[in-house]
Structure 1
Amino acid sequence: MTTPGADIRVLIVDDNRTVRRGIRLRLENATGIRVAGEAANGRDAVVLAHAERADVVLMDLHMPGMNGIEATRLITADEQSGCRVILLTSEVSDAFVVDAIEAGASGYLLKGHDSDQLLPVIRGAAAGTATISPRVAPRLIRELREARSATAAPEQVALLTGAERRVVGLLSSGVTSTEDIAKRLSVSVNTVRSQTASALRKLDLDDRTQLALWGARNGLPRPGA
């Protein structure tokens, strides 16, 4: 995560120069964000992410030489750097979404469709929050629920209280807004935040996306379902 008060250093990775230029122009006009550099392929992205001490990498999926998934895996493998990767792509394939998350991506946004989310997602990633495009989340949850029988961990589920399970169940069903979860459960936003933090601590997970994936894999039911 970035040092409080410091600009977020963002590396732009895309093999399309026009796309890179468009993203750069948008970021250069944003408060608290600095463009650390650009790369046109995954190999250069891995090198530059380290050399430029990037806080967040905006990563295209399909590039020559090394694709965005493999580059993401190599960048996030260096846990000490704290660098976060956001996949920014037009690809909505279930397999690619799952691969991106498993590779360590902190976000998966769709070009064009999620353009209004780019700046808040960058800031959230730098602060340790993960975000999945609302257009992608249902596909990801479905994919993981189909595979849950092979990864169920009842002993871990037993660690959570009933209230925590209900929160995780909604997260894993694609309800990602803390406010929406609070309304559905008729509790306060602070209660949801507290229960989310407690579940993360008990399961030794880093963020809400990992918690949602865990819930989907372990078949936690959506409250009222």
Structure 2
Amino acid sequence: MVADDQAVVRTGFVNLLATQDDIRVVGEAEDGAEAVRVAAERRPDLALLDIRMPHMDGIQAAREILAASGGATRVLMLTTFDLDEYVYDALAAGASGFLLKDATFPELLHAVRVVARGDALLAPGVTRRLVAEFARQRSGVLPARPVDGLTAREVEVLVLIARGLSNAEIAQSLTITDHTVKTHINRLFAKMGLRDRAQAVILAYELGLVLPGRDRPA
């Protein structure tokens, strides 16, 4: 499903996606409220939502769509700027990443396919930069969350994810195998109710394990 209040943008995305044999657009919406209704009716695998829309913005629409679908519908946000002030809110609401409106056709297809298969769109380093920027602006506002239940190793892995390291880099840093890293990440995600690395990065900042502007844990 594609939701954007700019008809030209929305139609352009729909027409491009419709050229692919493995992608089917099941609905369109011109504002957030309509997006929630269409998602409830059509139950799309993925909702491509503009962050800024009338009546209900994309962030609130994302929250409602994710809640109603139980997470079955993945959300990819559309934005005009890579440091949109709402990007942090969108990720915190449960979106799996964001795509610039001026993205190329291959970038659009890549983003849709990555998020549809259950992964986060953002490269870890990009996620870390975005979260750090807005965590810096909101210093002292983010709610604290308990770290109880995580092992020392899982906390180490969480910190390294927030620093932008890939699985291979985490394995090298901790002198463990890639398989062991995946096991730690799976357990960490299950314990903390995380879906992807984007949410893991946000959690690390909320817990104070990583501070904006620092490359080391607090």
**TM-score under structure 1 normalisation?**
0.78
RMSD: 2.9
SS of equivalent to 1:34: coil
Q: Quick check: 52-61 or 67-76, which moved more? A: 67-76
Matches of residues 82-121 of structure 1 in structure 2 within 5 Å? 82-93=72-83, 95-113=85-103, 116-121=106-111
Partner of 2:135: 144
Displacement of 1:136 in angstroms is: 5.3
Structure 2: where are the runs of 5+ without partners? none
Q: Distance in 2 between matches of 1:30 and 1:148?
A: 46
Change (3 A) 1:65 1:166: same
Structure 1 segment 1-225 matched on structure 2, within 5 A: 11-80=1-70, 82-93=72-83, 95-113=85-103, 116-132=106-122, 135=126, 137-144=128-135, 147=139, 151-153=143-145, 156=147, 158-175=148-165, 177-221=166-210
- Counterpart residue identity of residue 30, structure 2: A
Cα distance in structure 1, aligned partners of 2:93 and 2:65 = 9
Are the structure 2 counterparts of residues 131 and 28 from structure 1 closer, same or farther at C-alpha, using a change threshold of 3 Å? same
Q: TM-score, normalised by structure 2?
A: 0.80
- Measure, in 2, the Cα distance between the counterparts of 1:163 and 1:223: 16
| The 10-residue stretch of structure 1 (76-85 or 34-43) with the greater mean CA deviation from structure 2 | 76-85
The residue number in structure 2 matching 1:7 is: none
**Pair 1:185–1:115, CA change in 2 (3 A):** farther
Structure 1 unmatched ranges of 5 or more: 1-10
Larger relative strand fraction:
1
Q: How far did 1:50 drift?
A: 1.4
Paired position in structure 2 for 1:3: none
Q: Secondary structure at the match of 1:15?
A: coil
* Range with greater deviation from structure 2 (55-64 or 178-187): 178-187
CA shift at 1:117, angstroms? 4.0
1:165 is paired with a residue of what secondary structure? helix
121-130 vs 99-108, which moves further: 121-130
Give the length in aligned residue pairs.
212
The 2-side partners of 1:109 and 1:124 are apart by: 12
Deviations 1:152-184 (A, max 9, x none): 44x52x532333222211222233x33343344
In 2, distance between residues paired with 1:89 and 1:171? 24
Shift of 1:96: 0.5
SS at match of 2:24: strand
Residue 4 of structure 1 corresponds to: none
**Structure 1 residues 109 and 181: alpha-carbon distance in aligned structure 2, compared to 1, 3 A threshold:** farther
| 1:141–1:174 Cα contact (<8 Å) kept | no
Q: Percent identity?
A: 34
